[in-house]
Structure 1
Amino acid sequence: MTRQDAGPRTGPGPAPGPGHARVSRRRRDSAYPYALYLPAAVVFVVIFLVPTAMAFYFALTRWTLFDSEFVGLQNFRDFLAEQNLRIGFQNTIVYAVLTSGLKVVLGLLLGVLLTSRLRLRGFLRSVVFFPTLVSTVAVGITFAMLLKPQTGLVNQALALVGVDGRDWLGDATTALLSVALVDVWKGVGLATVIYIAGIMSIPTEYYQAVAVDGGGAWHRFRHVTLPLSWPATYSVIILSFIGGLRSFDLIWTMTRGGPGFTSDTIASIIYKQYQAGFFGLSTAGNVILFIVVTVIAVPLNYYLGKRQVAA
């Protein structure tokens, strides 16, 4: 074979083969999709990463709007020494578990009901979802008025049936529970919508198979709806549990963490430090809350994700 037969060559070494051309083409083709990530990446860095890094730094300082003094880990030691922190941490866990559990149970039951052949199911879906659209602060103020011991409509309605109402938000044994139930009322609509989407995505062939085997409504729920709606359950648990750990606005508008410190959560304790002007101390509390949520949510997400794959 002569040099002319081998074709033109631009330099020493073997000529590039078809594999090299495919790699180059793939790189050219992937340049456009990767460019679309840039705006979101900039927003993520500016809105999340930069403030997070600044929070970790300012948690090590005593700071105001005009200056800061580096104090190391002293803010963390002071925050962890708060006398009501143990109560706040306990309330945060109880609140998150209670609200997320009730949202899962009620959301699943309402999802099953609102995917059945009800004549008014479209209207009822709107009614169930409506509280999700209302401002949390407005909900807190409204229910704080409804639960007043003397003039609240809740106790007045109970009096009509001969039941003596109580100071729902002023009693240490019922304050946190009352706020948690209002949280469930407001958030169960979103859980229901997630379950409706999950249930409607289940193929009808599974229900037909149960019917062929002579199964009734309970068998359809137990052997089809419940296991195959696990992705929806996974989403509801993660969203509601993390939301419960970060709960603040509803608790603050209804009880201010009272009576005393009995309904305080970690977030309300942090806000009280901000109110008192201890900005570095409250920033350290925010960092601690971030770590607590991460330490709890990441293993939970991993565990539930494994169950989802197994299902």
Structure 2
Amino acid sequence: MPMLSLLVPGGTGQLGRDLAALSSPEIDVVAPGSAELDVTSAGAVVAAVSALAERAREAGATPLVINAAAYTAVDAAETDERRAFAVNVDGPRVLAAVCSSRRVPLVHVSTDYVFAGNADRPYEPEDDLEPHSAYGRTKAAGEDAVLGSGAQAWVVRTSWVYGASGSNFVKTMVRLEGERETLSVVDDQHGAPTWSADLASGLLELGRSIVEGHGPSRRILHCTGGGETTWFGFTRAIFEELGADPERVKPCTTEEFPRPAPRPAYSVLSNKSWVDAGLTPLRPWRDGLAAYFAAARR
């Protein structure tokens, strides 16, 4: 197994930290946060990717970039689309161009929000894109920028990501369980929760296949926790993990809980493309949630 030199822009986010945690004697990981590597700065990106290529050459390793940098504040993007565009489109475009010039493979992480969210079956990678939010529009444009760059690049879409770092839905529900007697949660939006540690392991497996010369022929893949649920079902499972009464969680509709950015009603991603590529599917979302809490208790 060849040694891998990995650069992870967005390294201080929840996914970035879990990728950094995979560092080993065979995997040299550099995971800078936005303060250290601003992906919208061409000069910074050139310097970071050049340093990666040089470090890999000196170590006899193969370089790889997994881009975990993103503007993910879905509601804020509705009024700050310019900044979201800079991070989600301009950044990946620059990163892909530099990776292409240095012949460094790139894996770019994207989202279920690129779809309309009105399907009646899990989305496949080739389904038409129809984002309904500023966040979704910028992520869709970022995919186009990466895939049209000429780089050896793959896009991996995922959904409902939560992890040990940063703020996320699971952490919010844990906090609210301790503050409220009952909690109303939307029960008409369907998706697949994905533990960032599981996603990181999957992305590393994909990266390994790429640097070993048998990367998937399909350049867009979907990778999420297995199965599907609603935010209401997800919250009840969180309460169960906390040892709290799940009956304290009550269902409500999207109309009863309006947000600045429209949410997809059904954004489950099919993992068939991932499995067809010979990659290990992530565990079912409920098992991933149990493992997340088990890790948090250690």
TM-score band, normalised by shorter chain: under 0.3
Kindly indicate which of the two structures has a greater share of residues assigned to strand.
Answer: 2
Kindly indicate which of the two structures has a greater share of residues assigned to helix.
Answer: 1
Q: Which of these two proteins has the greater Rg computed from alpha carbons?
A: 1
Structure scoring higher RCO (CA < 8 A, sep ≥ 6) equals 1
What is the TM-score with the length of structure 1 in the denominator? 0.22
